[in-house]
Amino acid sequence: MCNKVVVVHVPDGFLDVPTSLATGALAAGTVALALRKARTELDDRTAPLAGLTAAFVFAGQMINFPVATGTSGHLIGAVLAAVLVGPWTAVLCMTVVLLVQAVLFADGGLTALGTNVTLMALMAVVIGYGVFRGLSALLPRTRTGLLTATGTAAFLSVPAAALAFVVLFEIGGTVDVPLGTVAAAMTGVHLLIGLGEAAITVAVVGAVLAVRPDLVHGAARLRTATPLAGRPAAVMEGAR
Amino acid sequence: MGAAHGGALTARYMPGGTAVHRLEPHVKLVSVLAFALVVVATPVHAPWAPVAYAGYLLAVLTAATVAGVGPGRLLRGLVVEIPFAAFAVLLPFVAGGPQVEVLGLSLSRSGLAAGGGLLAKATLSVLAATVLAATTEPRALLRGLERLRLPQVLVQILMFMIRYADVVGGELHRMRVARESRGFTGGGLRGLRVLGATAGALFVRSYERGERVHLAMLSRGYTGSVPTGPPAPVAPRSWAVALSLPLAAAAVLAAGMLAG
């Protein structure tokens, strides 16, 4: 029997009503913006492709990895989705996954849906994708560079979402918990989960990069850097 | 398959014909959301808060009984809050303020109230949401969200996800069977490369399926929106039945506020 550490699915009642309303408004605004921007990433294919990617993220969250003795974490998939299909579509996919988990599995409260979208669809994607873009601009335009940027982004996205929760809890929580204690406890566990997240994200992006590099949204720069190689003359001769 | 989410999205649905099953999905959604709002709005540190929680519990258990949702189903629904229960249990140890001695441990008084309150609120809301999920089919919930004016594109993304979650999950399952029949035992870092390749292949297949589905839909006249008929009118009685849950909770809250 292993315990599951599901990352920050905030239930109802953890944050007070004003904070829940504020994060709800922020989440609604972000999703509205993402709905318009995702069309530039996927044009009229938005609905089927984002839906299938959301189903993939949902299935991918079933892959567990060990965090510490007897405890396992699972993939969040925010950076994975952002690197594969682009940040705006990733926001939509994560939102839909969270909505399904809240409505069909009572996982994450209905009044806390805005908070969960803010943490896992907004913070994890924005910070993760920001780190990814920043690093991939600095690192060499190679497969290794891209995967390093992906791994670092995936690793940081998990504690970033956890820290954002700590800040929200400080603003809208109902207890006078010393900020440092909560932050330390949350960050410690989530750094470990971040390692697993990074390992799986790198493995998946690496695998997709090997077979269909054209499907990796974050590798668009990589594609322009490596033009199609011509067939060597010797092979042409052999083919005849 | 992972036990956490179950293989199918319909894992939580229990077919039935009770009064709660027959309610329109959007009416039920509004009811559960309103109930959760009342629960969240209850002040944690009020002396009458535990009595109010008991009142809410009575209301939601009554709803579960009417819906024919048994205690086993409700308990299984509560599994999702375990990580946050751990967080709530830690609060009395780390919170500040006046301390009380319990079994030789020095605990924060406000931490105890808050930790207990958080746990109670989360549990009550999860119970209500479990009743909703057990009495409403995923597709019906989707229609409910649509009637509550969720943006069209989001509704369609949800529709595709709900329709294809089983297909993608089934693909993952067949890949696992294939792996294990070739002697893969998994676990540890060595297995990670294999699992990474599996998930990568799963993404490529999901994405390509999405492209095929889109083309198939275009060839059948898809214009960017899925036509649905005019929404059926809702009888006032449905609203009255559904809203009795949050109204009962609100009555408890109001009584507590007046008495306290």
Structure confidence by residue, pLDDT tens digits, A154-189: 999 988 888 888 888 888 776 666 777 777 777 777
B35/B72 same-domain check: yes
Q: How far apart are CA B125 and CA B116, in angstroms?
A: 14
Interchain contact A21–B (C-beta under 8 A): no
| All residues at 6 or more sequence positions from A167 whose CB lies less than 8 Å from its CB, including other chains | none
Q: Which domain holds residue B192?
A: 151-219
Interchain contact A188–B (C-beta under 8 A): no
A51·B164 Cβ contact <8 A: yes
For residue A1, the chain B residue with the least C-alpha distance is B3
Q: Which H or E element spans position A71?
A: strand A71-74
Contact indicator for A93, A43 with CB cutoff of 8 Å:
no
A106·B164 Cβ contact <8 A: no
Q: What is the least distance, in Å, from the CA of B121 to any CA of chain A?
A: 5
In-domain check, residue B224: no
Pairing of strands A71-74, A3-5: parallel
User: Is a pLDDT exceeding 80 seen at residue A23?
Assistant: yes
Q: What is the least distance, in Å, from the CA of A229 to any CA of chain B?
A: 24
The predicted pLDDT at position B102 comes to 67
Helix (H, G, I), strand (E, B) or coil at B99: strand
Q: Count how many domains chain B has.
A: 2
ipTM, two decimals? 0.83
A203·B160 Cβ contact <8 A: no
B110: Cα separation from own chain's centroid:
29
What is the longest distance spanned by two Cα atoms in chain B? 73
B40·A185 Cβ contact <8 A: no
In-domain check, residue B2: no
A2: which DSSP letter? -
B103/B19 same-domain check: yes
In-domain check, residue B3: no
Residues of A in contact with B148 (CB under 8 A): none
The predicted pLDDT at position A87 comes to 92
What is each CA distance from A75 to A200, B206, B231, in whole angstroms? 7, 17, 38
In-domain check, residue B228: no
The predicted pLDDT at position A174 comes to 63
User: Is a pLDDT exceeding 70 seen at residue A4?
Assistant: no
What is each CA distance from A69 to A2, A61, A158, B54, in whole angstroms? 9, 20, 20, 37
B24/B88 same-domain check: yes
B196·A203 Cβ contact <8 A: yes
B47/B128 same-domain check: yes
For the record, the structure tokens of A233 come out as 């003359």
In the numeric block, the tokens 């090997």 are attached to: A210
pLDDT tens per residue, range A101-134: 888 887 778 888 899 899 888 999 999 999 999 9
Q: Which H or E element spans position A65?
A: strand A64-68
Interchain contact A151–B (C-beta under 8 A): no
What backbone torsions phi and psi does residue A5 show, to the nearest 5 degrees? -100, 95
Q: How far apart are CA B99 and CA A181, in angstroms?
A: 17
Quote the radius of gyration of chain B (alpha carbons, Å).
Answer: 23
B171/B238 same-domain check: no
Task: Answer left, alpha or beta for residue A40, where phi above 0 means left and psi between -120 and 50 means alpha.
Answer: alpha
Residues of B in contact with A207 (CB under 8 A): 196-197, 199-201
Confidence class for position A214, pLDDT limits 50, 70, 90: confident
Q: How far apart are CA B141 and CA A103, in angstroms?
A: 8
For the record, the structure tokens of A214 come out as 């054209």
CATH annotation of A10-224: 1.10.1760.20
Q: Which of B172, B207, B217 sits opposite A59 (nearest CB)?
A: B172
Q: Which of B40, B94, B147, B171 to mutate to test the interface with A (most CBs of A within 10 A)?
A: B40
For A79-89, what is the mean pLDDT? 91
The residue type of B139 is: R
In the numeric block, the tokens 């509704």 are attached to: B155
B161·A96 Cβ contact <8 A: yes
What is each CA distance from A162 to A27, A73, A100, A116, A203, in whole angstroms? 17, 14, 21, 11, 23
For residue B162, the chain A residue with the least C-alpha distance is A55
For A30-51, what is the mean pLDDT? 83
The predicted pLDDT at position A93 comes to 92
Contact indicator for B118, A53 with CB cutoff of 8 Å:
no
Of A3-12, A49-58, A225-234, B192-201, minimum mean pLDDT range: A3-12
Q: What is the block-wise mean pLDDT of chain B (260 residues), using blocks of 10 residues?
A: 48 82 91 91 84 92 91 84 74 69 68 81 90 88 88 86 86 89 77 82 87 88 75 84 90 87
